[in-house]
Structure 1
Amino acid sequence: MMAVPLSVLEVAMVQAGTSAADTLRDTTEFARRAEELGYRRLWYAEHHHSPAIGAFPPVVLIAHAAASTSSIRLGSGGVLAPNHAPIVLAEQFGTLAALHPDRIDLGIGRGPGTLDEPTARALRRGAGPATDDQYRDDVAATLGFLLDDDVAAHGPPPEPWLLASSTSGAGLAARLGLPVAVAHHIRPDNTAAAIDHYRARFTPSPWCPGPRVLLCVETVCAPTEQEAAWLAGPMNVVKAGLLKGRGDIPFPPPAQAAEHPFTEEELRGLAGFRAHQAYGTPETVVRRLTELVDTTGAQELMLVTPVHALKDRLRSYELIARTSTV
């Protein structure tokens, strides 16, 4: 049995041969099923200008999922502070928290959500990437607006989290006294240092009395190891593109991914990444997740499962939910 709660990160992959509208329709069924399976929270990620990931604003997906479910916590994982005015984030998530009390999380991240420079500049209205100071000020301003009389009048605020993939982000979460969501599924080599840095420097705040770590892990589960590897194939193609700084790679079906000509360098990079995540049969995946909890001390795990078909994605979460409670 897993010793910590399990949650879900939804990145809304757009499968080759389908439309963004198809992906949006899937999000409703996915949210309902995640709630039925007992997952604690469901977060949505902000992405832009990618053929593989839908450009769906997290705040809109949260509102839609909240109207289709009744108990699962919903939030952003994350909404990207440099792309939004702090007061707008506070008003949007404050309103969601008023409409769905004690169910809304505001997970804040830093990146632009795209590798396309013109898109990144459009999101920033022509400005360049946010500096460390600008990001810190944006996060602090958002937290301040959550407590402002106009927003606070809506009711209790959403629960704020800071996303981190490095000691820099983890250090900011520690200074502000926020729970931290560590992007192990993006930069696993930084996980241990980021968590240690966060715990060593944490300052209690009204938001969080002590260090609180959520670890996000890429997870693909199937009845056999072979099928899990087959289902992971499409994301391997996308990752191989990302390793070369390309964000324009579509999300192919598994049969097409199985024929993709990876270079030796790409295969080494992908193997190194997989070694830090959780793929395989239910028993293998739950054992690996348990090891990650034991080595990191994470108080919660968030699973992201970028596989091609909704039925396969749901089955992965079903197998883990069933096995983790045994």
Structure 2
Amino acid sequence: MASRTPLSVIDFCTIYPGETAGESMSRSVELARTAEELGYSRIWYSEHHNMATIASSAPAVLIAHIAAKTERIRLGAGGVMLPNHSPYVIAEQFGTLAELYPDRIDLGLGRAPGTDMNTLGRALRRDPNAAERFPEDIMELHGYLTGDSRVAGVQAVPGAGTNVPLYVLGSSMFGASLAAKLGLPYSFASHFAPTHLQQATTYYRENFEPSEVLSEPYVIAAVNVTAADTREEAEEQTRIVHRNRVRTMLNRQGHHLSDAQVDQVVDSPTGRQIIDMLKFTGVGTGEDAAEYLEKFTALATADELMVSFQAPGSQEAVHGMRLLGRAWGLDPADTAGAPGDWGL
């Protein structure tokens, strides 16, 4: 089979109903082992806070645990919400990971809070203007990781000289513009924010400025997949995924509805707006999903796909991962096939 675009995975460390965070994280280990076995390129974990269904609030800690339970697959943050932290602390954390697991660690960076405004201000105590320093914070972080610190007399230990690869994450034109200007790889969050995908990736490619990090643009586009043995089964799983997503979004807003009420909302304009966030989703058999991803790759002009497996439960998600991996023709020998060392 002809070589295809590298496939990677984003794992939200979902806490399913009746499950603990610890059980969720144990499943994430098994998910990573399966992805490694099948030949997926990397797995990323995203920083979220105060969300009852997501256990990836501390990506660096989670990565350390999963890296110890796997052998070669790349692991990273997709991403760390940099304005929530000092660049120095992130350099130390990911520098530590890079020393423990050489050539396996990625660091995707976002500027969103990854939480609600109450948590942001009262619990995280984040400066309301912190996001405005995002470009400068990236460059400060870059300096710590290369050993060329921008802060006189301060080096990150561990961190200096690890050259952990940096990626700019985004769902708008801001991230595309910044990644192009800095000459960094760009990852678009089209798995939940589909609106500006083509505009952002086109702008990034057309305006990319080569840097010491990267000579040519590199686009990672995120996409959802629900794969099952039959199309009918995948479509039924999709209906459950949509219902659960509407319920989760309404719960975050303080609305706790019965199943019948949730079903009513699913068919309402509000429900459709929530479901439309999953616009880019391949549904069907493994072959159906693979065909969809081929078309999506062309649409997004993607060099790599970051797949979010949407399923009612963990068993269905892992099975979908296997079905897609086989249909895509993944080779376990190419597990670390996606670029990681950008020549920092």
5 Å matches for 1:222-233?
Answer: 222-233=228-239
Please name the residue that 1:308 is paired with: 312
1:258 & 1:311 partners in 2: Cα distance? 27
Alpha-carbon distance change, 112 to 195 in structure 1, aligned in 2, over 3 angstroms: same
Please name the residue that 1:120 is paired with: 120
5 Å matches for 1:246-261?
Answer: 246=252, 260-261=263-264
1:291 & 1:53 partners in 2: Cα distance? 30
Alpha-carbon distance change, 305 to 4 in structure 1, aligned in 2, over 3 angstroms: same
Q: In percent, how many aligned pairs have the same letter?
A: 36
1:97 & 1:40 partners in 2: Cα distance? 17
2:196 & 2:50 partners in 1: Cα distance? 27
- Measured after TM superposition, the shift of residue 114 of structure 1 is 1.1
Deviations 1:140-175 (A, max 9, x none): 221122123634776432111110111111111111
Please name the residue that 2:328 is paired with: 324
Question: Taking structure 1 as the reference length, what is the TM-score of the superposition?
Answer: 0.89
Q: Does 1:157 align with 2:163?
A: yes
Cα pair 1:164 1:170 within 8 Å, conserved: yes
Cα pair 1:237 1:257 within 8 Å, conserved: no
Q: Does 1:289 align with 2:293?
A: yes
- Measured after TM superposition, the shift of residue 286 of structure 1 is 0.6
Alpha-carbon distance change, 274 to 94 in structure 1, aligned in 2, over 3 angstroms: closer
1:305 & 1:35 partners in 2: Cα distance? 15
- Measured after TM superposition, the shift of residue 249 of structure 1 is 7.5
Match for 1:269 among 254, 267, 273? 273
1:98 & 1:272 partners in 2: Cα distance? 41
1:43 alignment partner, SS class: strand
Cα pair 1:35 1:72 within 8 Å, conserved: yes
2:97 & 2:291 partners in 1: Cα distance? 36
AA matched with 1:128: P
2:133 & 2:288 partners in 1: Cα distance? 43
5 Å matches for 1:1-326?
Answer: 3-115=4-116, 117-122=117-122, 124-128=124-128, 130-131=130-131, 133-148=132-147, 150-151=155-156, 155-240=161-246, 246=252, 260-261=263-264, 262-269=266-273, 272-325=276-329
RMSD value, Cα: 2.6
* Structure 2: segments with no counterpart, 5+ residues: 149-154, 331-344
- Measured after TM superposition, the shift of residue 68 of structure 1 is 0.8
Cα pair 1:114 1:247 within 8 Å, conserved: no
AA matched with 2:190: H
Alpha-carbon distance change, 202 to 97 in structure 1, aligned in 2, over 3 angstroms: same
2:209 alignment partner, SS class: coil
AA matched with 2:243: V
- Measured after TM superposition, the shift of residue 247 of structure 1 is 5.4
Count of matched residue positions in the alignment of Structure 1 and Structure 2: 320
Alpha-carbon distance change, 59 to 153 in structure 1, aligned in 2, over 3 angstroms: closer
AA matched with 2:74: R
- Measured after TM superposition, the shift of residue 264 of structure 1 is 2.4
Question: Taking structure 2 as the reference length, what is the TM-score of the superposition?
Answer: 0.85
2:119 & 2:326 partners in 1: Cα distance? 41
- Measured after TM superposition, the shift of residue 118 of structure 1 is 1.9
1:112 & 1:33 partners in 2: Cα distance? 31
Deviations 1:273-319 (A, max 9, x none): 45432122212111110001122221100101132322111101000
Cα pair 2:45 2:77 within 8 Å, conserved: yes
Residues 238-247 or 137-146, more deviating: 238-247
* Structure 1: segments with no counterpart, 5+ residues: none
2:123 & 2:213 partners in 1: Cα distance? 29
Cα pair 2:172 2:196 within 8 Å, conserved: yes
- Measured after TM superposition, the shift of residue 272 of structure 1 is 4.0
Cα pair 1:170 1:195 within 8 Å, conserved: yes
AA matched with 1:139: I
1:124 & 1:267 partners in 2: Cα distance? 30
